[in-house]
């Protein structure tokens, strides 16, 4: 009879699916009103012989059931823990947050990088309108009326509206004029922004971006210009020994004027920046022409300064290996996904600009 009870209780123990169910089985077998406890209570009514034999058998059964309960409890507890660990698993190698879908356009990123470098040198950012008048875009910059350099700019003129000839600015240099008219020296500004020329091929788009620099003070000289641009180019392209070559050139608004080349190699059809003996033009610069200072109300016998200007797309293409200028403005999402930047990669000097 006890054997049948044992089998029944053991199968109940093994069938208990969780800890509360198992505890029910325990109460049912060993609790105050449990089945084994019930048999124990009956021992008193037996003869000493029978009581001894039956008592031993009941004790053995009780121990066996208690042991089975403990074993089952341990199994259930470890299964429970395992399920919980599985459910609460954390992959610490996953990114902190899902990667954002949007991308920063290479032009924005490049301008941010440039601003970060020049800000470190103490330049402030200045702005001017995209729609300019002839005075700010040309005349004040020492382009006399009818000067051939005006034609070289492929200017978009707006339909005549009154006495002022309006146009889309062909360079960021009018921001120099606006700054000098509104601010007393010393001046140290950069002006990033859109510019427009009527031209379209592999290396020209009707809208493109430039960044202008202007420094005016009493003793500013060509050495300062050179140091500033060497410093900038090395930081921007992240090449410590990048050589710069200053070639004499002409701009109406600077005298002397220079075009700046950076060192490169074109071996094997691959462009590499550095001290390799070959050269690549990247910007125009010079000492601000006294006529420009005077046109902007600055005493050219007391003040002098330098200016520079460069194409943002051009340097972005060089830095990031983008082959065709036109793709910048085609708004192709696949292109942007490939060449764009993750929004939280905000350029700053400390973390390094190239990643
Ligand atoms: N504005 C010139 C251009 O667009 C660049 C430049 C700026 C040259 C400042 C010298 C000084 O070609």
Residue nearest to atom 9 of ligand 1 (CA): 308
Atom 10, ligand 1: which residue's CA is nearest?
285
Q: How far is the CA of 349 from the centre of ligand 1 (A)?
A: 26
CA-angle at 234, arms to 336 and 124, nearest 5°? 75
CA of 276 to the centre of ligand 1 (A): 27
| Cβ–Cβ under 8 Å, residues 177 and 191 | no
pLDDT at 208: 96
Could you count the other beta carbons within 10 Å of the beta carbon of residue 328?
Answer: 22
- What are the extents of the domains in the chain? 2-87, 105-339
What's the pLDDT tens digit per position in 297-308?
999 999 999 999
Q: What is the torsional sign of CA 226, 151, 294, 176?
A: negative
pLDDT at 278: 92
Report pTM. 0.72
DSSP 90-122: --TTS-SSPPPS--B-HHHHHHHHHHHHHHHTT
Best of 128, 132, 169, 171 for a ligand 1 pocket test (most atoms within 8 Å of beta carbon): 171
- Specify whether the CB–CB gap between 341 and 109 falls below 8 A: yes
Distances in whole angstroms, Cα of residue 109 to Cα of each of 31, 80, 94, 106, 229: 75, 51, 26, 5, 20
What is the SS3 assignment for 309? strand
Cα Rg for the chain, rounded, in angstroms? 42
Q: Could you tell me if the CB of 174 is within 6 A of ligand 1?
A: no
Q: Which of 190, 253, 258, 305 to mutate to test the pocket of ligand 1 (most atoms within 8 A of CB)?
A: 253
Q: Which residue minimizes the CA distance to atom 4 of ligand 1?
A: 171
Residue 81 CA, ligand 1 centroid: distance in Å: 71
Q: Which residues pair with 191 in a beta bridge?
A: 212
Among the atoms of ligand 1, which is closest to the Cα of residue 176? 9
User: Atom 3, ligand 1: which residue's CA is nearest?
Assistant: 171
User: DSSP secondary structure string, 322-337?
Assistant: ---GGGGGS--HHHHH
Q: For ligand 1, atom 2, name the residue with the nearest CA.
A: 309
Q: Which atom of ligand 1 is nearest to the CA of 284?
A: 8
> Looking up tokens 């200045």, which residue turns up?
126
195 lines ligand 1 (CB under 6 A): no
Ligand 1 near 286 CB (within 6 A) = yes
pLDDT in tens, the chain (355 residues): 788 888 888 899 899 888 899 999 899 988 889 888 888 888 888 888 888 888 888 888 889 988 988 999 999 999 999 999 999 988 888 877 777 788 999 999 999 999 999 999 999 999 999 999 999 999 999 998 888 777 777 899 998 767 778 999 999 999 999 999 999 999 999 999 999 999 888 788 999 999 999 999 999 999 999 999 999 999 999 999 999 999 999 999 999 999 999 999 989 888 889 999 999 999 999 999 999 999 999 999 999 999 999 999 999 999 998 988 899 999 999 999 999 998 877 777 666 665 4
Cβ of 284 closer than 6 Å to ligand 1, yes or no, is yes
CA 83 distance to own-chain centroid: 39
Give the Cα separation of 76 and 98 in Å (integer): 37
**Are residues 264 and 272 in contact, defined by beta-carbon separation less than 8 angstroms?**
yes
Residues whose CB falls within 8 Å of the CB of residue 177, separated by 6 or more in sequence, listed in order: 135, 136, 140, 141, 292, 295, 296
Tokens of 332: 């192709």
- Is 309 a pocket residue for ligand 1 (Cβ < 6 Å)? yes
Would you call 168 exposed, middle or buried from its count of C-beta atoms within 10 A (0-12, 13-18, 19+)? buried
Question: Relative to the CA of 311, which ligand 1 atom is closest?
Answer: 4
pLDDT of residue 355: 47
Chosen CATH of 105-339 out of 3.20.20.140, 3.40.350.10, 3.30.930.10, 3.20.20.330: 3.30.930.10
φ/ψ (deg, to 5) at 346: -80, 125
Q: Is 193 in the pocket of ligand 1 (CB under 6 A)?
A: no
**Cβ neighbours of 310 (radius 10 Å):** 23
Q: Does residue 317's CB lie within 6 angstroms of at least one atom of ligand 1?
A: no
> What is the SS3 string spanning 23-79?
HHHHHHHHCCCCHHHHHHHHHHHCCHHHHHHHHHHHHHHHHHHHHHHHHHHHHHHHH
CA 229 – ligand 1 centroid, Å: 14
Atom of ligand 1 nearest to the CA of 173: 1
289: Cβ below 6 Å to ligand 1? no
Task: Identify the pLDDT of residue 97.
Answer: 75
Q: Around 324, how many Cα atoms within 13 Å sit in the side-chain half-sphere? A: 8
Which string of DSSP letters, residue by residue, matches 131-157? EEEHHHHTGGGT--TT-HHHHHT---B
């Amino acid at each position: 009879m006890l054997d049948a009870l044992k089998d029944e209780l053991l199968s109940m123990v093994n069938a208990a699916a969780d800890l509360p169910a198992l505890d029910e089985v325990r109460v049912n077998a060993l609790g105050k009103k449990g089945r084994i406890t019930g048999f124990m209570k009956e021992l008193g009514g037996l003869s000493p012989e029978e009581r001894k034999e039956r008592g031993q058998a009941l004790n053995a059964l009780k121990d066996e059931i208690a042991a089975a309960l403990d074993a089952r409890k341990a199994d259930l507890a470890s299964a429970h823990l395992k399920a919980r660990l599985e459910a609460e698993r954390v992959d610490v190698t996953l990114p902190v947050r899902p990667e954002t879908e949007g991308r920063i356009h290479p032009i924005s990123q490049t301008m941010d990088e440039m601003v970060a470098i020049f800000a470190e040198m103490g330049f402030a950012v200045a702005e001017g309108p995209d729609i300019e008048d002839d005075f700010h875009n040309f005349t004040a910059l020492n382009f006399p009326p009818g000067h051939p350099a005006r034609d070289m700019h492929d200017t978009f003129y707006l339909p005549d509206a009154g006495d002022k000839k309006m146009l889309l600015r062909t360079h960021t240099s009018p921001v120099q004029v606006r700054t000098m008219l509104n601010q007393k020296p010393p001046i140290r500004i950069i002006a990033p922004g859109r510019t427009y020329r009527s031209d379209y091929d592999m290396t020209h788009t009707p809208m493109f971006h430039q960044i202008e620099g202007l420094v005016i003070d009493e003793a500013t000289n060509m050495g300062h210009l050179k140091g500033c641009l060497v410093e900038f180019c090395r930081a921007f392209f992240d090449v410590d020994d990048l050589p710069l070559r200053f070639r004499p050139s002409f701009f109406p608004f600077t005298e002397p004027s220079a075009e700046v080349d950076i060192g490169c190699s074109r071996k094997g059809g691959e462009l590499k920046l550095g001290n390799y003996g070959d050269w690549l033009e990247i910007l125009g610069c010079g000492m601000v022409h006294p006529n420009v200072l005077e046109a902007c109300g600055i005493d050219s016998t007391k003040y002098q300064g330098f200016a520079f200007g460069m194409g943002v797309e051009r340097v972005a293409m060089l830095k990031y290996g983008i082959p065709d200028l036109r793709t910048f403005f085609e708004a192709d999402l696949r292109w942007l996904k490939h060449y764009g930047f993750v929004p939280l990669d905000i350029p700053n000097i400390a973390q390094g600009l190239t990643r």
